[in-house]
Structure 1
Amino acid sequence: MTSIAPKVPILNITLDNISQQKLLANLKRGGWVTTPNIDHLVKTRKDEVFDTIYHKADYLVCDSQVLIFVAKLMGYRIADKISGSDFFPVFYEYYAHDPEMTIFLLGAMEGVAEKACHLINEKVGREMVTGVYSPPFGFERDPAECAKIVDLINQSRANVLLVGVGAPKQEKWFYRHRHLLKHVTVAFGFGATIDFEAGNVPRSPRWMSHVGLEWLFRLSCEPKRLWRRYLVESLPFFLDLGAALLGRYRLHRPIGILLQEAGFLTEGQLQELIEWYELRQPLPLEQILLAKGVVQPPVLQFFETVLPRLGERSGVDLQSRSAIVQLCEQAGLLTPQQLRELEASDSPSPELVAIERGWLSAQMVRLLQLAIPSGGLTLKPEAALYRAGLIDFDWIAAARAYQRNPQWLTLGELAVARGLISHRLLVFMQEHQAELSALPDPQALRDRLVAAGLAAPNGLERAA
């Protein structure tokens, strides 16, 4: 027996089970609409940023007859199939006589959006589409081009934006720039809709769409572009579906969303991380070492700020017998308890006791023995870490590879690199991602992190 529920979970997304008429009416108040289909589900599975952004949309409406069949297998009934290319003409006709609704079209090849603009305005009998732009290839990673697009949209004063540059590019671009769009209250990520409106791409017969074969029609029209998407890349969806039907699928919500719900990231911080990730800006080598948990923040801070000027910044009597172990405690290489034990020992060189007990490396001790007589030692952080025996050449080479390919880092690792969360918290969330994803609400998530000693019980601060 199937039921109409307001939310329908399908694998890693949750559909908003809303009728087309209700969605039309709701959009008078604004909203960001995305249209999940199998291709989107597969892409969110592989693309952490896309998956994170997908959770930010106001409406996730079903754009797939196949997903309707899947929902039915799971005991749900979808109110309406709402595909972008079908919904958009219904939308502009619904608001044809509402002068407050004006549209900007972003996407398609040169001249196509202008043609769509002319045809739409002719249908509604007014200048409803007030601006269009066909961006060049790679525009999303060109800050100057993106700023130009934002200016064009703002100058048009349109309050409805249709971005039709394909998923996940369209969703990522809107999320990154939405706070700069002064008038936009309604946003659509509707793929090839501009081409459909211009008449450049044929629509499938309605009967094919109704029985879930629209993909076959589109494949026959554009085999070179679409064969991999439909015949190869969609296979993981069906494997996950099989696991779900057997009760073996485990939901993994994006780490960025979990961090935000737990109070470790603000919306602005999450957006900054995504902005950095999409622009692929390189990080300093030492921040990559932090991201990977190779070194901890106190160690790095010590080598960057204290080691060059030990006499001025350490606050340690460099002539005392315990100077080296005190400095190592400052660097986070010894615990306060270990320091007390070493200072209480009878040895004239407590650092040698620390080496014997495996608490310190001989390289670290030699580095400080070299630095203390001159009151400090100026080295690049990676050189100091290497000489202290805290990293090796393999880690330096790996970090440089990440510098060349910053997209290899995850959003969680980037948050660690930027000092927003600890590596310990990230590791816990990665190891318990399925468990944390299944918790019913943010409070339950925070309670779980408090129980693990990773958050303070009185609020959102992380424990030391």
Structure 2
Amino acid sequence: MTSDNGPPPTLATRAIAPPTLPLLGLDFACLDLAAAAAAIAARPAGAPFAYVVTPNADHLVRLDGDVALRAAYRGAALCLLDSRVVAAGARLLGLPAPPVVTGSDLTARLLARHLQPGERITIVGLSPAWLPALAARLGVAPPAHYDPPMDFDCDPDAFAAVVDFVRAHPARLVFLAVGSPRQERLAAAIAAAGDATGTGLCVGASLEFLAGARRRAPRAMQRLGLEWLFRLAAEPRRLARRYLVDSPRIVTLLWRQRRAARAPRSAAGA
């Protein structure tokens, strides 16, 4: 994957970047859940900080009008599609679609299968009240934890304090669970600091699901691409605009890419 500011980052100390598929301005990794988790887990302790993003429809719509945020996503070492709706829409329009790897599934697999006994992770986000439940459910060691104020990204000093916390608490896996676009901007800033280590995972509410703070959609709804509907029903006031007004614009963006892809063929046949 390319960055606006230099060569592509990789998830390992040697260049083993996976093949990618371009979609809506990002290069998505052609990895399934097991392969993505294994690639992340294979990074050695102390490796220079790199980060993973898992954009969904809401993120992709937001990126369309935000050049600076798009640069943060493009700076990721691994970009995984977290939307069965986007994948299905792309296929319907004849566009290639990468595998779907949700941030929640990736987080669960890493914590369940890829931690060493007693290994300590670092978490930014998640209310302290839910840390005991997370540790009990997953059997993980007490993490290094920092729960920043809600609008920390609007306060330069508060933002810098979060970056400094991650730098001071290195871990092989660093979970950035403060929501998009804060977590992606934070990940880019940590990487830019130059002295942090580990793999940052921009995973939104994933830890809340694992800790029991929120209930995730049943598996059947997930497979059908209806997880958004379950979340909308659970939090209508918070999510109505996102799911019913903003996110549907993803159809326009996919259609625009389809037209752009067909234009060279049409010109060649003229």
Q: TM-score, normalised by structure 1?
A: 0.47
Pair 1:130–1:249, CA change in 2 (3 A): farther
Distance in structure 2 (CA, Å) of the matches to 1:236 and 1:71: 13
Where does residue 122 of structure 2 map in the other structure? 104
Match of 1:280 in 2: none
Whole-angstrom distance in 2 between the partners of 1:124 and 1:203: 16
Q: Is residue 222 of structure 2 the alignment partner of residue 209 of structure 1? A: yes
Q: Is the 8 A contact 2:33 2:105 kept in 1?
A: no
Equivalent residues of 2:28, 2:98 under 8 A apart? no
Residue deviations 1:235-277 (CA, integer Å, cap 9, x gap): 3321122233344789xxxxxxxxxxxxxxxxxxxxxxxxxxx
Structure number with the higher helix fraction is 1
The match for 1:89 is: 108
Q: Paired residue for 1:139, among 143, 152, 175?
A: 152
The answer to whether structure 1 residue 18 and structure 2 residue 31 are counterparts is: yes
Contact preservation (8 Å) 2:152, 2:158? yes
Between the aligned partners of 1:171 and 1:228, the Cα distance in structure 2 is: 22
Q: CA 1:103 to 1:241, structure 2 compared with 1: closer, same or farther past 3 Å? A: same
Moved over 4 A (4+): 247-250
Distance 1:71 1:196 in 2: 28
**CA separation of 1:217 and 1:124: change in aligned 2, threshold 3 A:** closer
Task: State whether residues 159 and 183 of structure 1, in contact with CA within 8 Å, keep that contact through their aligned partners in structure 2.
Answer: no
Secondary structure of 1:201's aligned partner: coil
The residue type paired with residue 136 of structure 1 is P
By relative contact order (CA 8 Å, sep 6+), the higher-ranking structure is 2
Q: Give the structure 2 partner of residue 418 of structure 1.
A: none
RMSD (Å) for aligned C-alpha atoms: 2.5
SS in 2 for 1:212: coil
SS at match of 1:161: strand
* CA deviation profile, 1:338-372 (whole Å, cap 9, x unmatched): xxxxxxxxxxxxxxxxxxxxxxxxxxxxxxxxxxx
Shift of 1:184: 3.1
- Partner SS, residue 15 of structure 1: strand
Task: Write the deviation string for residues 300-328 of structure 1: whole angstroms up to 9, x where unpaired.
Answer: xxxxxxxxxxxxxxxxxxxxxxxxxxxxx
Per the alignment, residue 3 of structure 2 pairs with: none
- The corresponding residue for 2:59 is 40
Change (3 A) 1:236 1:137: same
Flag structure 1 segments of 5+ consecutive residues without an equivalent.
251-464
Residues 179 and 6 of structure 1: CA distance in aligned 2, closer, same or farther (over 3 Å): closer
Where do residues 59-208 of structure 1 align in structure 2 (5 Å cutoff)? 59-73=78-92, 74=94, 76=96, 78-79=98-99, 81-97=100-116, 101-108=119-126, 112-115=127-130, 117-127=131-141, 129-180=142-193, 182-208=195-221
Q: Which residue of 2 aligns with 1:310?
A: none
Q: Which deviates the most, 136-145 or 37-46? A: 136-145
Aligned residue for 1:197, secondary structure, equals: helix
Q: Equivalents in 1 of 2:253, 2:95: separation in Å?
A: 17
Report percent identity of matched pairs.
Answer: 29
> What amino acid sits opposite 1:40 in the alignment?
H
SS in 2 for 1:162: strand
Whether the aligned pair in 1 keeps the contact of 2:29 and 2:78 (CA below 8 Å) is: yes
- The change in CA–CA distance for 1:45 and 1:132 in structure 2 (over 3 A counts) is same
In 2: Cα distance, 1:213 partner to 1:89 partner: 20
Residue 240, structure 1, aligned to residue 240, structure 2: no
Q: How does 1:327-406 map to 2 (within 5 A)?
A: none
Provide the C-alpha distance between the structure 1 equivalents of 2:260 and 2:169, rounded to a whole number of angstroms. 50
8 Å contact 2:122–2:145 — kept in the other structure? yes
Q: Is the 8 A contact 1:106 1:135 kept in 2?
A: yes
TM-score, L = length of structure 2: 0.78
Instruction: Tell me the distance in 1 between the aligned counterparts of 2:22 and 2:193.
Output: 32
Tell me if structure 2 keeps the 8 A contact 1:107–1:133: yes
Judged with a 3 Å threshold, the aligned counterparts in structure 2 of structure 1 residues 246 and 157 are, in CA distance, closer, same or farther, namely: closer
Q: How many residues align?
A: 239
